Homo-oligomer: A and B are copies of this chain.
Amino acid sequence: MTVTSSTVRSRSDLCTAIEHELNGLISARTRAAAPYGPEFTRLWTLAGENVLGGKFVRPLLLMETYDALRRPGTPRAEDQRRTAISIAAAIELLHYAFLLHDDVIDGDLVRRGKPNLIGSLLAAAGGIPGGGIPGSEQKHPHSRLHWAQTGGILMGDMLLAGTHQAFARADLPHPLRVRLLDLLEHTINETVAGEQLDVGLGDGIIAPELETILVMCGYKTATYTFELPLRAAAALSGAEPSEEFSLASAGRHLGLAFQLQDDLLSTFGDPRRHGKDPFSDLREGKQTAIIAYARMTGAWPGIEPWFGRPELIIKDAEEVRRQLSECGAESFVQGLIDEQLREFHGLLNSATSEIPENARNVLIDLAAQLEGRQS
């Protein structure tokens, strides 16, 4: 991959524009929160810090694809581009709403080594002199965690509302607004279906078959991370449905590769680079493609007793990891990733009529980032 200085410059300009839009959305809501008291204001202030500290992967993909697809010089081009930026920012709010509710569901207080919103609310509640109002802590020993997780649910709701508000307010012709609203509805349903599958797998409600796990990965992450920005860019730039369809297929392959890579990195990657606890998936008993494969091999009886044990010590965890690699699970999942990337490139080559060259370059650039990814 060659990143030219003009690519770098335009990506940094895009980041600035997206950040500006998000900052406007969140500042207005933080101001509107003030009359409701300090706790409600804190919720918005912390959410703002979290949202604005992101890498804007999804809005950048939308805007780069949009800029690649749109025909310059059309009337109202600048107005239309501003609308695209507002939709891109809305997609970042959606991402954060999903993350927050996922953190509530998983009971997580940390993300990438730092307190998430819930962890920050918990810390702030602990900072109240005497631990909340006097005597409360004895009656409600878990009350601070409950309070913090409630904040996570409620902020997720407000960010989900904010996402829809941006889609609804976009000053677009009615058919285009409906096309985008259909896309948003489909995306949310599919992501929620994926989240439900993931939780059902973890809770032992749904059988952890490889096929189910692969479907879940696609629904839970690929749809909103890759398909949504690509399809929104197509719709906003006035692309034909066939173009949107090709972009969606390409996005699905990249998205699945990305999610599988995430699982591989979490288990076999270098924690100094990805920043996560290298054994948390094993300790939590996360049902990944790695585990689904291992379960079908003769190595499983040696792995199973350690899987999903929170108290797993490093020495034993390292041994489990070695067995997962030796039984072929690591190379099997790497093979799945390679297959997705092969299909992606095959699709790009065959869809020359559907995906214009500039947009193909955005996707090739993204695939190259995935291929070299260590975190």
- Which A residues are within 8 Å of any B CB, using their own CB? 29, 32-33, 36-37, 39-40, 43, 97, 101, 104-105, 125, 128, 132-133, 135-137, 139-140, 143-144, 146-147, 150-151, 153-154, 156-158, 160-161, 164-165, 167-169, 171, 174, 177-178, 181, 184-185, 188-190, 192-193, 195-197, 199-200, 202-208, 219, 285, 308
Contacts and interface: CB of A to CB of B under 8 A. Distances in A.
B185 A165 contact: yes
A318 to B, nearest CB: 22
Contacts of A135: 204
Q: Which of A105, A181, A193, A203 has the most CB of B within 10 A?
A: A203
A154 B205 contact: no
A40 B196 contact: yes
A281 to B, nearest CB: 15
B160 A181 contact: no
Given A105-B150, A158-B189, A188-B161, A39 B168 contact: no
Nearest to A151: B196
A140 to B, nearest CB: 6
Contact of A204 (B105, B132, B157): B132
18 contacts: A33-B189, A133-B207, A136-B204, A139-B204, A140-B203, A143-B204, A144-B205, A146-B203, A147-B200, A147-B205, A150-B195, A150-B199, A157-B157, A158-B188, A164-B164, A165-B185, A167-B168, A168-B168
Contacts of A43: 196
A196 to B, nearest CB: 6
B169 A171 contact: no
A29 B140 contact: no
The 6 closest A-B pairs by CB, nearest first: A136-B204, A164-B164, A168-B168, A143-B203, A36-B193, A132-B204
A308 B37 CA distance: 26
A146 B202 CA distance: 10
A100 to B, nearest CB: 10
B196 A154 contact: yes
A10 to B, nearest CB: 31
Given A164-B165, A206-B39, A146 B199 contact: yes
A131 to B, nearest CB: 8
Contact of A161 (B36, B185, B197): B185
B143 A205 contact: yes
A133 B204 contact: yes
Given A132-B203, A143-B204, A219 B157 contact: no
Q: Which of A37, A197, A204 has the most CB of B within 10 A?
A: A204
A153 B203 contact: no
A192 B133 contact: no
B219 A104 contact: no
A195 B139 contact: no
Contact of A158 (B136, B143, B192): B192
Contacts of A185: 161, 165
Contacts of A139: 204, 285, 308
B181 A169 contact: yes
B133 A205 contact: yes
B133 A206 contact: yes
Contacts of A177: 168-169
